[in-house]
Structure 1
Amino acid sequence: MSQPSPPAAHDRGEPVPGPAYWDHPEPLAVASAPVPEYGSGSLADLLPTLAAGMGVPGLAPAIEELAPADRNCVFLIDGLGWEQLRQHPDEAPYLTSLLASSRGGTGRPLTACYPATTATSLASVGTGLPPGAHGLPGYTVRNPQTGELMNQLRWHPWTSPGPWQPYPTVFQLAHAAGVHAAQVSSPTFQNTPLTKVALSGGTFHGRLTGEERMDLAAEQLAAADRALVYTYYAELDGAGHRYGVASDTWRGQLMCVDRLVQRLAEQLPPRSALYVTADHGMVDVPFDEQHRIDFDEDWELRAGVALLGGEGRARHVYAVPGAANDVLTCWREVLGEQFWVASRDEAIEAGWFGPRVDERVYDRIGDVVAAARDDVLIIASQREPKESAMVGNHGSLTPAEQFVPLLEVRS
């Protein structure tokens, strides 16, 4: 489906009342925001490139430098940004060796999609589509059918998965083409709606430990002449959220990840390619009022807002009827240069959500979209107490969040 025509403009009315704004920095132009490399170097381009190289019909290679292989494995490490990896060579010697290796490995960054958050990224990885098509454009977004905020990671409140994301996954297409498709992950994720809409197809194999997953992923690669295997590790992301990417806990998890990648790489069967990537990077945000702007305590930002969606660094703002233009003006003035603040149509036209936005997805995007530029958050201390207390955060368009590794090992 093509991008819909924008709805009729709301009545502009009078500006939201408030103090003079001349003491705020000038709003940051939407056009200055970097846009993910959809179609040539984003997470959405990885699996279609690999599957096309295996002869799966209907898919085309988008990442030119990836040579075809009969057996492909994607190991997605939640929260491992390109910049964070490059800053920690001592904790990740094996991964660091793949950044620019002369022994069969290559390394380059991909961009996550917008927002750089797990539900959106996993859907882009699994479907090979940008967010404007697959329809998971944020951590929480408004369901136009009910008017409620829907958490797309936890899938709450319940929404029928098929209509929400109707496109087939690359694994389903590969399986239909005779490729052995398999996912190796925690048993917790086997029957979740997010897995169903983003990663289903072929067989699912649940294993509790990272070591078990690496061993089984290697076995699944060797199970057929053509194989497409996906495996996943979440604990690095959890450490970043709780303690930050500057913490000893996060560095310890990175050391574990490094050993897991090497364990899998050393078991690759012949004619295999292993690709290590991630869903987003992460930014540590200081705990003070300057860096954590509390929506629940800021009457200017609340004025005219019906629902606050997204997450701290990538907000979807849903206005009460008739107030969208006033909310946009207020958010731009209050946030100044700390955020890129766009209307829905401006964000779509700029390509934040991909080259097209399907009609069913259009109203899931906020009337106002705010993406952090600095190390700041828009928290909601009362509505989102757990999320507001996180040290490490992600979601926006900055390199620290958007750039994720694409590391290759071939056998």
Structure 2
Amino acid sequence: MTRPATVEEALPEPLDPRTAPVPRYGQASLADLLPAVLAGQGVHDDQPTRLTLEPADRVCVFLVDGMGWQALRDHPAEAPFLTSLLSGSAGGTGEPITAGFPSTTATSLASVGTGLVPGKHGLAGYTVLDPDAGQLMNQLRWQPWTDPYRWQPFPTVFQRAQNAGIETSQVSAPHFQHTPLTKIALSGGTFLGRLSGEERMDLAAARLAASDRALVYTYYADLDGNGHRYGVDSAHWRQQLRYVDGLARRLAEQLPPRSALYVTADHGMVDVPEGPESRLDFDEDWELGAGVARLGGEGRARHVYAVPGATADVYAVWREVLADQAWVATRDEAIELGWFGPADAVADRVRPRLGDVVVAMTGNAAIIASRNEPNESALVGMHGSMTPAEQLVPLLQVRT
């Protein structure tokens, strides 16, 4: 007769954080894109990368918020033009590149704009602890206010390009012009605000043609917004992807000679099902809340800040409760494993911003906070972790 399994034996083993698929920093990540572009324009500065892109005098980067590699690949009917470019992704390898960790907009845009890994530029999540103020800081909305240049003191790649004689422009929605995130991640050269996607594509092409050497960045946000509200593969999301495909084609057809267009994204997305099995509510779970002073990050990637002396207990409980639903690491483990970039690149000013415990979800579950984060907790599509659906992004190219 077989002895029935005990409760302890039936529980899944906690995932080993060493098995998490770390972003390809220094080789093929968003932080490598603009340094590789500048190298192709003859500007070699102090941000080395092994990502190689064919030289071009005029370069436009079109970043589509939320357009993950897997979701794009799964929707060829909605994106025939972009699908036709998949085989040439990442310098002709046909492979995706990676976002950093967390795979979230503030982190990714800072990596794109500075050419630095999250552990160095310091925007290491949706919300992280401001150790000087002793409170969580939302790095997308920049609340509560803190000096942007204290938070991220390094020059942007756009500034370095402009200083090297490359005519540099950002073409985006007008309301982004004066945001702190734009100032410390995307500034340099000329900002040009246009409301419609078509206006942005037309102006981006015109800015390329206006100079012998040019770097233009343009951005579109609504694919991500519809994914958050309705889910990836919803009718709303698919309609937006069709629109994005048309924008990319419109821009490509207007490229002047000696140009390269790169179409990429800041992250992908997963849909989180309704129900307590997939939406673990921190605000209602006494085990997850025990010993926790603050909960940062977002549903798919959490910074957990312990009360003094409780880090070991918090780490043990979160590993046990989440088991095979998340990679759970201490701050030191996450740094040593390269989650935020090479360990020696993580700046001393950034370390205390990271959680005492860092959590990256697998599958399609999320740690929500229904009372303290009601809007974020209600989202259908979420991102932030290191799963392929979230971390892999395209780097499509069109050349003239």
When normalised by structure 1's length, the TM-score is 0.93
- Count residues in correspondence: 391
AA aligned opposite 2:355: G
Deviations 1:99-128 (A, max 9, x none): 1269x9774311000000000000000000
2-structure distance, mates of 1:37, 1:65: 14
Are 2:28 and 1:50 aligned? Answer: no
1-structure distance, mates of 2:47, 2:308: 42
1:138 match = 125
2-structure distance, mates of 1:304, 1:111: 34
AA aligned opposite 1:125: V
Q: After the TM superposition, which segments of 4 or more aligned residues of structure 1 sit over 6 Å from their partners?
A: none
Aligned CA-pair RMSD: 1.5
2-structure distance, mates of 1:343, 1:25: 20
Pick from 54, 78, 83 the counterpart of residue 70 of structure 2: 83
Contact conserved, 1:105 with 1:410, CA < 8 A, in 2? Answer: no
Are 2:238 and 1:251 aligned? Answer: yes
Are 2:247 and 1:260 aligned? Answer: yes
| 1:307, distance to aligned residue in structure 2 (A) | 0.2
1-structure distance, mates of 2:134, 2:392: 33
| 1:158, distance to aligned residue in structure 2 (A) | 0.2
2-structure distance, mates of 1:326, 1:60: 39
Are 2:282 and 1:295 aligned? Answer: yes
3-state SS of 2:363 partner: coil
Question: Greater shift after overlay, 49-58 or 233-242?
Answer: 49-58
Contact conserved, 2:305 with 2:357, CA < 8 A, in 1? Answer: yes
1-structure distance, mates of 2:397, 2:174: 27
1:114 match = 101
3-state SS of 1:195 partner: helix
Deviations 1:142-194 (A, max 9, x none): 00001100000000000100010001000000011111010000001000000
Contact conserved, 2:268 with 2:393, CA < 8 A, in 1? Answer: yes
Deviations 1:194-245 (A, max 9, x none): 0011000000000000000000000111111110000000000000000000
Pick from 327, 349, 366 the counterpart of residue 355 of structure 2: 366
| 1:24, distance to aligned residue in structure 2 (A) | 3.1
Pick from 399, 404, 410 the counterpart of residue 388 of structure 2: 399
AA aligned opposite 2:84: S
3-state SS of 1:274 partner: strand
Structure 1: gaps of 5 or more residues? 1-19
2-structure distance, mates of 1:21, 1:387: 33
1:312 match = 299
Are 2:11 and 1:24 aligned? Answer: yes
Are 2:221 and 1:234 aligned? Answer: yes
Query: Which aligned pairs between 1:321-360 and structure 2 lie closer than 5 A?
Result: 321-355=308-342, 356-360=345-349
1-structure distance, mates of 2:277, 2:172: 39
When normalised by structure 2's length, the TM-score is 0.96
2-structure distance, mates of 1:397, 1:162: 28
Quickly say closer, same or farther: Cα 1:106–1:39, change in 2 above 3 A.
closer
Contact conserved, 2:360 with 2:386, CA < 8 A, in 1? Answer: yes
Identity, % of aligned pairs? 69
Contact conserved, 1:344 with 1:369, CA < 8 A, in 2? Answer: yes
Contact conserved, 1:338 with 1:376, CA < 8 A, in 2? Answer: yes
3-state SS of 1:363 partner: helix
| 1:247, distance to aligned residue in structure 2 (A) | 0.3
| 1:53, distance to aligned residue in structure 2 (A) | 1.6
1-structure distance, mates of 2:134, 2:198: 43
2-structure distance, mates of 1:254, 1:401: 17
2-structure distance, mates of 1:150, 1:382: 18
3-state SS of 1:95 partner: helix
Contact conserved, 1:53 with 1:61, CA < 8 A, in 2? Answer: no
